[in-house]
């Protein structure tokens, strides 16, 4: 049975990549495509916008009106578009995959509330490799404890609008939980001037925005005489798109609830 996928943010980098990858998956088909109201791409064929042949699916702005056309909505849009997508899926009992980053507290709360009614995969990074790194840094942090300094370093392309990245923040959350720390109290976002001696229990974040870097993330554990680095470098957005589509397929058998890629990959 074919699962019909809707893509929100269909004209963006990730949306276009997901649509192209769908062509290679016979069990999945594009059912709908969305962009925000006012987008210059509204009305265009989503397949052509993605750089391939026509798919017969026009880009529209109203997910509620197209709810009968899809089974799972994959959201890589803009934080402002997320609440409408969540409400459309909740009202129509459609499954939802959210990969959009830079969300505020109210937008996150809407996702959590919807997960009481529908199955939702919400993850800052859909890459299988990144999610394996999440597990590795948790294991390393528990073993190392407070014996080393911890830093999170991330790099993305010049057009990325949020910093630190959602993936870097998730790494910080995992580290803080494993080390028994409050991330809100111990996070340090960049350093300048006479900062004094580094506090051992801080978790530092360094952000790079340059060129066309798809996404690099490193967690550095540094002690006296040695250091450990766990690094993931993405060379193509196809890695994130493939993970998102794996999540969409996995949701078919999932009951209502809030999940992430650790659940999808069986890494819990």
Active-site residue set: 156, 160
* Alpha-helical segments (H) within 95-237: 105-114, 128-144, 166-179, 183-186
Sign of CA dihedral 209, 101, 190, 231: negative
For 203, which DSSP code? Answer: E
In whole angstroms, give the CA distance from residue 230 to residue 146: 17
3-class state of residue 257 by DSSP: strand
Strand partners, 147: none
3-class state of residue 171 by DSSP: helix
Q: Which of 36, 28, 126 is nearest to 85 (CA)?
A: 36
Segment (H or E) for 151: strand 149-156
Strand partners, 205: 152, 189
Strand partners, 156: 209
């Amino acid at each position: 049975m074919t699962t019909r996928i809707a893509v929100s943010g269909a004209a963006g980098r990730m949306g276009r990549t997901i649509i192209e990858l769908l062509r290679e998956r016979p069990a999945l088909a594009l059912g709908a495509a969305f962009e925000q109201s006012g987008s210059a791409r509204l009305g265009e064929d989503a397949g052509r916008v993605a750089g391939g042949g026509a798919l017969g699916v026009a880009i529209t702005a109203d997910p509620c009106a197209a709810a009968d056309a899809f089974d799972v909505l994959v959201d890589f849009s803009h934080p402002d578009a997320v609440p409408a997508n969540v409400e459309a899926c909740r009202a129509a009992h459609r499954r939802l995959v959210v990969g959009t980053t830079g969300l505020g507290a109210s937008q996150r709360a809407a996702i959590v509330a919807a997960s009481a009614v529908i199955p939702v995969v919400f993850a800052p990074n859909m890459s299988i490799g990144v999610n394996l790194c999440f597990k590795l840094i948790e294991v390393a942090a528990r073993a190392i404890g407070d014996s080393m300094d911890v830093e999170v370093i991330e790099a993305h392309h010049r057009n990325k609008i949020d910093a630190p990245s959602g993936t870097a923040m998730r790494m910080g959350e995992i580290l803080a939980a494993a080390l028994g720390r409050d991330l809100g109290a111990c996070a340090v976002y960049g350093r300048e001037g006479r900062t004094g001696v580094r506090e051992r229990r801080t978790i530092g974040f360094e952000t790079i925005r340059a060129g066309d870097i798809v996404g690099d993330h490193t967690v550095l554990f540094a002690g006296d005489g040695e250091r450990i680095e766990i690094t993931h470098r993405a060379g193509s957005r196809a890695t994130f798109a493939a993970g998102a589509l794996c999540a969409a397929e996995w949701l078919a058998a999932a009951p209502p609830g809030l999940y992430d890629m650790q659940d999808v990959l069986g890494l819990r």
